[in-house]
């Protein structure tokens, strides 16, 4: 999968799939799957580190996840999420963050929002770094938005989000994530830009879909927003496996003789 393959897939009307991943063992499973590309998202701060939102994610934290994912998925296209404020400093510090991710094994970076980011996107693209945009509900704006809220509810907000998508394409983004916006708006954006739109809570008309791996596998406990579909009840299955292990140990059924050394 390359950046130009993605555009071809959009033109051919073939849907794209992206899944988040933060560690080597999940990456090995994704490597052997038909998933098109992997996002090392700043959601790692919540999913892997237990924070309430993505604000505590740092370049160092995510770079370690990128390295682990690259070791597990040597051939997949990996997008690394630039965390909160890591691309809002001076050009040198912004570029250091990007360099860290690309040298850790990423093929592209993602950054949230458009306002004030266009010239940096252009600079990255001119430097050989593919950039994915992310608009709509941008979780790094949780404090400004007053929570994780659906965006683009009124016509002014819808015009702004559509203009953001077009401006990010113009700046050189190869793709854009549309998070938690009305389906009709996502459909309008998808037809008005030539880059693939990847939706999460944005309806079926997007060119592709992304989900957090743990949400998709039912490993996120009671966290189940409307846009998540669980393809496995992983939490329940893991719980059952652990209960069986404990019972076997207590009943002296594990290990069997064949599972020991003579």
The residue from 41, 72, 83, 152 that contacts ligand KIV (CB under 6 A) is 41
Piece in contact with ligand KIV (CB under 6 A), picked from 37-45, 154-162, 183-191, 250-258: 37-45
Strands of 125-174, DSSP E: 131-136
Contact flag: residue 215 with ligand KIV (CB under 6 A) = no
Contact flag: residue 26 with ligand KIV (CB under 6 A) = no
Contact flag: residue 186 with ligand KIV (CB under 6 A) = no
Comparing C-alpha atoms, which of 115, 119, 112, 109 is closest to residue 163? 115
- Which two structure tokens, joined as six digits, stand for 76? 């997949």
Contact flag: residue 177 with ligand KIV (CB under 6 A) = yes
Chain residues 57-116 in contact with ligand KIV, contact rule CB under 6 A: 81
The residue from 210, 213, 216, 219 that contacts ligand KIV (CB under 6 A) is 210
Query: CA separation (Å) from 7 to 11, 16, 53, 82, 164?
Result: 6, 10, 32, 23, 19
**Cβ at position 42, least distance to ligand KIV in Å:** 5
Q: Give the distance from CA 232 to its chain's centroid.
A: 19
Q: Phi then psi for 78, rounded to 5 degrees?
A: -110, 130
Comparing C-alpha atoms, which of 165, 154, 211, 156 is closest to residue 187? 165
Which residues are tagged catalytic?
Answer: 179
Torsion of CA 90, 93, 96, 102, to 10 degrees: -60
Piece in contact with ligand KIV (CB under 6 A), picked from 38-46, 83-91, 115-123, 215-223: 38-46
Contact flag: residue 164 with ligand KIV (CB under 6 A) = no
Secondary structure (DSSP) of 206-233: SSEEEE-HHHHTT-STT---TT---S--
Contact flag: residue 175 with ligand KIV (CB under 6 A) = no
Place of tokens 């659906």: 150
Report, in angstroms and rounded to the nearest whole number, the Rg of the chain calculated over CA atoms. 20
**Cβ at position 196, least distance to ligand KIV in Å:** 14
Contact flag: residue 193 with ligand KIV (CB under 6 A) = no
Nearer to ligand KIV, 12 or 144 (CB): 144
Nearer to ligand KIV, 42 or 207 (CB): 42
Give the whole-angstrom CA distance, residue 165 versus residue 154: 17
The residue number with the shortest CB distance to ligand KIV is: 41
Strands 37-40 and 108-112: unpaired
Nearer to ligand KIV, 179 or 207 (CB): 179
- Judged by CB under 6 A, how many residues of this single chain contact ligand KIV? 11
Nearer to ligand KIV, 41 or 105 (CB): 41
**Cβ at position 14, least distance to ligand KIV in Å:** 20
Give the whole-angstrom CA distance, residue 247 versus residue 28: 30
Contact residues toward ligand KIV (CB under 6 A) are: 20, 39, 41-43, 81, 177, 179, 200, 210, 212
């Amino acid at each position: 999968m390359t950046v130009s393959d993605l555009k071809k897939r959009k033109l051919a009307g073939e849907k794209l799939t992206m899944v988040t991943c933060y560690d080597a063992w999940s990456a090995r499973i994704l490597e052997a799957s038909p998933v098109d590309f992997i996002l090392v998202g700043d959601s790692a701060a919540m999913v892997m580190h237990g924070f309430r939102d993505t604000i505590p994610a740092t370049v160092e934290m995510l770079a370690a996840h990128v390295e682990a994912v690259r070791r597990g998925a040597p051939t997949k296209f990996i997008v690394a999420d630039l965390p909160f404020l890591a691309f809002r400093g001076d050009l040198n510090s912004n570029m250091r963050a990007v360099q860290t991710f690309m040298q850790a094994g990423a093929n592209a970076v993602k950054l949230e929002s458009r306002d004030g980011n266009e010239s940096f996107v252009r600079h990255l693209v001119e430097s050989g770094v593919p950039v994915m945009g992310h608009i709509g509900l941008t979780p790094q704006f949780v404090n400004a938005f007053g929570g994780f809220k659906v965006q683009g509810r009124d016509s002014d907000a819808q015009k702004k989000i559509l203009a953001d998508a077009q401006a990010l394409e113009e700046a050189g983004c190869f793709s854009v994530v549309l998070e938690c916006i009305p389906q009709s708006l996502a459909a309008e954006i998808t037809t008005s830009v030539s880059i693939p739109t990847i939706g999460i809570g944005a309806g079926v008309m997007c060119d592709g879909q992304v989900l957090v791996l743990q949400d998709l596998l039912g490993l996120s406990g009671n966290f189940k927003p409307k846009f998540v579909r669980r393809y496995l009840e992983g939490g329940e299955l893991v719980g059952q496996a652990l209960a069986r292990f404990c019972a076997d140990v207590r009943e002296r059924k594990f290990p069997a003789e064949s599972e020991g050394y003579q």
